[in-house]
Structure 1
């Protein structure tokens, strides 16, 4: 596009394109929104002041002059190179200009609007000054020349231009505040969504009013409804009584010493464990805290996991002590039965492995309960030639606790070891049939399990009770009411286990 300011006199073009003026214009009026009714009264007053039919409130760009208010014309812009106002701002800074008859003024006589329609004759304009720069004008036109003009008319027109400048500043300030408020609102919404997505509660304690308020997550975590500001005392009461004193003390320390508040507490209503953090955000002129800002994070899962870990460690400590005592007993009793170191190591290692297998299963299940089927498979597979064909199981769904699993594991190990050496598991045609049923005895669930060997070599009762037999009978001593009875029948060993669950 051709730069139309080239048709302007050099001094006018220089004034119109001055960088300082353009910067002030762009700061005050970033975009032209179209005619603005807020300026209509200024245009009307200017028209009345000079009894002129055309009045404008304008801003001057490099190329176009835009009309924010207009009276007596439907146009909303005009080219700057044909503008009275562009020539006016090139004059003395901030001074209004009155042209009684444009045909007699060399500066304006050749303008298209003077030589042609609408044949303008009279002009009066005053610059709108922003930060010392003329960004536009309040001006009036008439198609008739004005022979006389009131002596104070120019000054009053200048005041109207000053008023227009103030309106421009106010509107731009309002626009900036609106944009800032919208940006702040978007940021607040973004923060709120982020806090909600992260399940973080935010809250503010106004120490001047004594009220605590927060987001929806804050009230939900505390189990308080409806969600509305509450007195600090009510907030403290929302903390579980077991944690209330420590929580209040931590808050007081943060208020008094300016340190960070950091405390884990349990909500009285919801029962959730919350990590609270915060600090003083504002103080008054005397340094006294006036606003405390904090967040709460739900750490219930972590707290329960920590508690579960502590319980597991206590259980593990208990089990380790019991296991060490059992190992000592196993070592002594095994050593008594044989003086052959190789035989001792073989027997003791097998029993040690049995304990290890039972412990591994329990550890995998966090020392809770394990299924009987898992224990059977773990203890019997090493001693079978073909587990699927040599072990037949008929059972109910049975869950075993730690003492039951360790004791029964040793029983199964001794039975399987004996069956592998001398009984049904020593030949491929042999089989172990296990039946495990749960019955109610006086309201107590009791496991009745039968171990029966078939298809193996003929069985003869042992000439004396070895440690294996003693271990089978004693392995369930820690389970009150339990018993193990072994019979050496000719067709195969049979063991009867009774164990309360």
Structure 2
């Protein structure tokens, strides 16, 4: 039986507050300590060893003793300084037995001895971690014992203390692993959600078994239905036949070289363009690839934009060639009609500006269609002082293709230039009235537009047709079935334009 001298309160307080011991306590148990059913059997064994009605497995903190398991009492904690077990901290790992606490000066003044439940017998062994006493396993009896406890019983009590310590460490390690795993799981879920929101397919291919783990975006991209085993064969089958062989070849090359797989292919069911990236993540003991990790992105919109850009560039190249040919013809004809360099530059620059305006509008609309209203405003506004007051337009909703817009733009430029120099726009109060209607001719839409000038000088038919008038009548020659007819009425020039619209 281990006996010790009277414990000085200062020594006990120092032992309870020891930083090293409290650090060992924190490393062994969670921040919140409470009853734990896993320790119940240990208290039952301890009580049986000593035929004691009360048994406790406890953790000793700086000021509180928490009961992990107890038998014979209902409390879950007690004051550490007033406990029997706190005195174990001064015994350097040795157990303590007290046959009659009322007659022992070390314990006789403790509240549990002097008052309820009037403890008399006590036997306890410390639970240790990292060389520090962090708790105890102990038994109590309200009846004193008349003989010493056997060494065998104390040895078994110490073994139970070691078992309790091992169980504490195991549970704390399991708890910390669970916390770490939960954190990893949350991060994986966050990343999976991010991939889902970003519509990024992810996949892990077990090369040995052929099994593939893929997320929801991947299944959606390949139009694969949920359920059933997902395999590499099933993935390859979902690739469009025209890209399947090339895609598999690139994957095999990445497997053999250990480099990165980078391939673009279409999904067989939807024909959407997908970009795949990936590389080998694990190799087996023979150095052969065993796991392959990859991602898949839907790049259909980018492919469409790229193809559209190529089409636009081809269209632009075609238009530039046509425009250059037109400019060369304009230059020759203008020079033939105008020998004075200054007059040539003025006439040619205006026509060049007209073509430029039409090109600019078409470019803004990606060489698709432009509205007739937009073209009218662009070509006429430079030659009027007040567009709203001098130009009256009555029209249907009309869209023009590139050839129609460039040709009609040049016609409108020549008409506006002529009106500014000699016609309605040269006189105060002069006005343009433009009417544009779409009619059906043999099932085909045709634009009939009338340009009528009024309020200007009296008009006389020209003695000869200059290049400007020729240009008005011939600018729409590229549009089959079109024509421009000019009528030199005394009240104002009238131009009748017929323009088929089904050639857009």
Q: Normalising to structure 1: TM-score of the pair?
A: 0.93
**Which region of structure 1 is more displaced relative to structure 2, 298-307 or 338-347?**
298-307
Distance 1:441 1:150, change over 3 A: same
- Mapped partners of 1:132, 1:478: distance in 2: 100
TM-superposed deviation, 1:259: 2.0
For residues 266-285 of structure 1, the aligned pairs below 5 Å read 266-285=266-285
Which residue of the partner structure matches residue 111 of structure 1? 110
1:71-108 per-residue CA deviation (whole Å, 9 max, x = no partner) reads 11222222222222222232243x33333333454433
SS at match of 2:332: helix
Which residue of the partner structure matches residue 122 of structure 1? 121
1:334-365 per-residue CA deviation (whole Å, 9 max, x = no partner) reads 11112111111111111111111111111111
TM-superposed deviation, 1:12: 4.1
Which residue of the partner structure matches residue 60 of structure 2? 60
TM-superposed deviation, 1:109: 4.0
Which residue of the partner structure matches residue 486 of structure 1? 486
**Which region of structure 1 is more displaced relative to structure 2, 10-19 or 187-196?**
10-19
Maintained 8 Å contact 1:89/1:134: yes
Which residue of the partner structure matches residue 326 of structure 1? 326
- Mapped partners of 2:228, 2:368: distance in 1: 44
- Mapped partners of 2:494, 2:227: distance in 1: 69
Which residue of the partner structure matches residue 465 of structure 2? 465
Maintained 8 Å contact 1:8/1:81: no
SS at match of 1:255: helix
- Mapped partners of 2:383, 2:98: distance in 1: 120
TM-superposed deviation, 1:135: 1.2
Distance 1:75 1:465, change over 3 A: same
**Which region of structure 1 is more displaced relative to structure 2, 397-406 or 216-225?**
216-225
Which residue of the partner structure matches residue 316 of structure 2? 316
RMSD: 2.2
**Which region of structure 1 is more displaced relative to structure 2, 376-385 or 221-230?**
221-230
SS at match of 2:236: helix
Distance 1:164 1:211, change over 3 A: same
- Mapped partners of 1:460, 1:116: distance in 2: 134
SS at match of 1:213: strand
Distance 1:99 1:386, change over 3 A: closer
1:166 aligns to 2:166 (yes or no): yes
Aligned residue-pair number:
495
Maintained 8 Å contact 1:450/1:497: yes
TM-superposed deviation, 1:110: 4.2
Q: Normalising to structure 2: TM-score of the pair?
A: 0.92
SS at match of 1:367: coil
- Mapped partners of 1:385, 1:32: distance in 2: 86
The answer for unaligned runs of 5 or more in structure 2 is 1-6
1:375-396 per-residue CA deviation (whole Å, 9 max, x = no partner) reads 1111112223432233222211
Maintained 8 Å contact 2:12/2:81: no
TM-superposed deviation, 1:225: 2.1
For residues 108-187 of structure 1, the aligned pairs below 5 Å read 108-146=107-145, 147-187=147-187
- Mapped partners of 2:215, 2:130: distance in 1: 44
TM-superposed deviation, 1:177: 2.0
TM-superposed deviation, 1:128: 1.5
**Which region of structure 1 is more displaced relative to structure 2, 106-115 or 305-314?**
106-115
SS at match of 1:113: helix
1:224 aligns to 2:221 (yes or no): no
Distance 1:49 1:353, change over 3 A: same
- Mapped partners of 1:168, 1:314: distance in 2: 76
- Mapped partners of 2:92, 2:500: distance in 1: 110
Maintained 8 Å contact 2:211/2:231: yes
TM-superposed deviation, 1:455: 2.6
SS at match of 2:440: strand
Maintained 8 Å contact 1:219/1:227: no
Distance 1:227 1:465, change over 3 A: farther
Distance 1:60 1:468, change over 3 A: same
TM-superposed deviation, 1:329: 0.5
Distance 1:490 1:117, change over 3 A: closer
- Mapped partners of 2:445, 2:199: distance in 1: 44
1:364 aligns to 2:364 (yes or no): yes
Which residue of the partner structure matches residue 3 of structure 2? none
- Mapped partners of 1:50, 1:413: distance in 2: 116
TM-superposed deviation, 1:491: 2.8
Which residue of the partner structure matches residue 190 of structure 1? 190
Distance 1:380 1:105, change over 3 A: same
1:161-196 per-residue CA deviation (whole Å, 9 max, x = no partner) reads 122112212221221122122212221222223223
- Mapped partners of 2:312, 2:437: distance in 1: 30
Which residue of the partner structure matches residue 391 of structure 1? 391
**Which region of structure 1 is more displaced relative to structure 2, 68-77 or 17-26?**
17-26
The answer for unaligned runs of 5 or more in structure 1 is 1-6
Distance 1:228 1:293, change over 3 A: farther
Distance 1:227 1:495, change over 3 A: farther
Which residue of the partner structure matches residue 24 of structure 1? 24
TM-superposed deviation, 1:331: 0.3
1:239 aligns to 2:234 (yes or no): no
1:500 aligns to 2:470 (yes or no): no
TM-superposed deviation, 1:229: 5.0
Distance 1:416 1:114, change over 3 A: closer
- Mapped partners of 1:366, 1:185: distance in 2: 49
TM-superposed deviation, 1:203: 2.0
1:213-272 per-residue CA deviation (whole Å, 9 max, x = no partner) reads 222222222222226651112212222233333332332232222222233333222333
For residues 354-433 of structure 1, the aligned pairs below 5 Å read 354-433=354-433
TM-superposed deviation, 1:406: 0.3
Which residue of the partner structure matches residue 3 of structure 1? none
For residues 44-59 of structure 1, the aligned pairs below 5 Å read 44-59=44-59
